[in-house]
Copies of this chain bind each other. A is one copy, B any other.
Amino acid sequence: MNSVQQIRKKPSDKTPPRRPARLWRACDARITVRQTGIAEKACQSCIVRQLAESGAIAGARHQLLSAQVRRTHYAPRKNLFLQGMPAASVQIVTSGVVRVSRTLLDGQRQVLGFALPGDLLDASLSATHDFSADAVDQVLICQIPREVFASLAETEPWLVRRLNDVLIEKLRCAEQQMAVLGHKSAIERVACFLSNLHQRWAKVDARQKAFSMPMSQADIADFLGLTIETVNRMLAQLVRDRVIARAGSTVTVMDAARLGVLART
């Protein structure tokens, strides 16, 4: 009657061997709040840029938000917040990868996705988080206290509208993932995942050819609705077929066309 579903005890990740903090030093945490001028230059993908990119007016708006931003650093495997915790602030990933997951009623863990630099965590303005977030590797977070954001939203209606757009984008992502989970085979799912990661990292840094995949195969399995073994086998097959190459947690796409075909994207 039922099948599937072994409960994996520890949702822990591995510490990536390489990733010498190039990306996350680009937006270093050791910036005090008043140094908005520096922050504006340094922070490539902070909450401000994310929320304010609605045109030329960005400059003034940028400063408005910058003054309120706090930055926090998390070590690999550290928890940012737990499902059910009171939500204290609006947060955006500045560097590193964050795993977003949820514990289902039957105790099983569902990985909702992975937040990359520039991605908004917890767009809701509700009282408590309805999912957990954990740092996969070295992570830097930009955050605005909830009250500050709320009062800002009062005087700056564009903020809420911008938030709307972000939410719609997130919804589109979720729907795409529904398609992956509902209609695709194992190899297609893994190919989709890689292709998606590839594209998203390209947005963060278009120059890089390789990208970082620091999450464990267990995380990927839970995200794709597969088992660890299957994920492993599919990755191995893609390497064997010269579609991708792996070196530690770094992945290089060797044959983007093939990958696209496999992903059916």
> Interface of A with B (CB < 8 Å)?
1-5, 102, 104-106, 108, 110, 112, 123-126, 130-131, 153, 157, 160-161, 163-164, 167-168, 170-172, 174-175, 177-179, 181-185, 187-188, 222-225, 264-265
Contact = CB atoms under 8 A, between A and B. Distances in A.
A223 B183 CA distance: 9
Contact of A167 (B167, B182, B188): B167
Given A157-B160, A160-B157, A161-B160, A104 B179 contact: yes
**How many copies, total?**
2
A2 B222 CA distance: 21
Given A104-B183, A164-B125, A182-B224, A175 B112 contact: yes
Contacts of A124: 168
A4 B126 CA distance: 39
A171 B172 contact: no
Contact of A183 (B184, B188, B225, B264): B225
B1 A187 contact: yes
B179 A178 contact: no
Given A5-B183, A157-B160, A161-B160, A178 B110 contact: yes
16 contacts: A1-B185, A1-B187, A102-B175, A104-B183, A112-B175, A112-B178, A123-B168, A123-B171, A126-B168, A153-B161, A160-B164, A163-B164, A167-B167, A177-B178, A178-B181, A182-B222
B106 A182 contact: no
Contacts of A170: 171
A167 B172 CA distance: 11
A264 B163 contact: no
A112 B175 CA distance: 7
Contacts of A225: 181-183
Nearest to A110: B179
A11 to B, nearest CB: 14
A222 B185 CA distance: 15
Nearest to A158: B160
A213 to B, nearest CB: 19
Contacts of A177: 178
Given A167-B171, A181-B181, 15 more contacts: A2-B185, A2-B188, A4-B183, A102-B179, A105-B265, A106-B264, A112-B178, A124-B168, A130-B172, A157-B157, A157-B160, A171-B174, A178-B178, A182-B223, A183-B225
